[in-house]
């Protein structure tokens, strides 16, 4: 008697249908969260958006410098990506890029409003 878990077979069309039933509610929840935020961005103060965007960019640049500091101490300046970083610095690396991306998004909103 075989006790393998690989005996299960789900047809690809049924798998796509199940994926569709999972993706559509996720999109609806995300849209219900993001649409009021976008409406608030249109009526908010442009100087506050610019300040938050600039602050987020500066914080992201500082976090990126701190995350890559072990590589700079080893005189490896031209490495790409966080593959040579340890776990703590790799998390800082990705957190820095989240702040930089949010900065670019906020500054794009400011640019579109002006």
Q: What is the pLDDT of residues 33-72, one digit of tens each?
A: 888 877 777 777 888 889 999 999 999 999 999 999 999 9
d(CA 52, CA 60): 12
Contacts of 102 (CB under 8 A, 6+ apart): 53, 56, 60
Which is more confident, 20 or 2?
20
Q: Among all chains, which residue has been given the structure tokens 């442009």?
A: 46
CA angle 27, 32, 33 (to 5 degrees): 100
Q: Give Cα 50 to chain centroid, integer Å.
A: 20
Q: Give the whole-angstrom CA distance, residue 106 versus residue 41.
A: 9
Domain layout of the chain by residue ranges: 11-43, 45-114
Q: Tell whether the model's pLDDT for residue 13 goes beyond 90.
A: no
Contact between 48 and 97 under an 8 Å Cβ cutoff? The reply is: no
């Amino acid at each position: 008697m075989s006790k393998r878990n690989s005996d299960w077979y789900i047809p690809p069309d049924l798998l796509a249908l199940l994926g569709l039933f999972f993706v559509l509610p996720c999109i609806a929840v995300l849209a219900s969260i993001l649409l009021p935020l976008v409406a608030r961005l249109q009526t908010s103060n442009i100087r506050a958006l610019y300040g938050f965007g600039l602050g987020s960019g500066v914080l992201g640049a500082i976090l990126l410098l701190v995350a890559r500091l072990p590589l700079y101490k080893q005189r490896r300046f031209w490495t790409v990506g966080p593959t040579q970083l340890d776990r703590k610095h790799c998390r800082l690396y990705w957190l820095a890029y989240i702040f930089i991306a949010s900065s670019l998004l906020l500054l794009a909103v400011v640019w579109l409003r002006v």
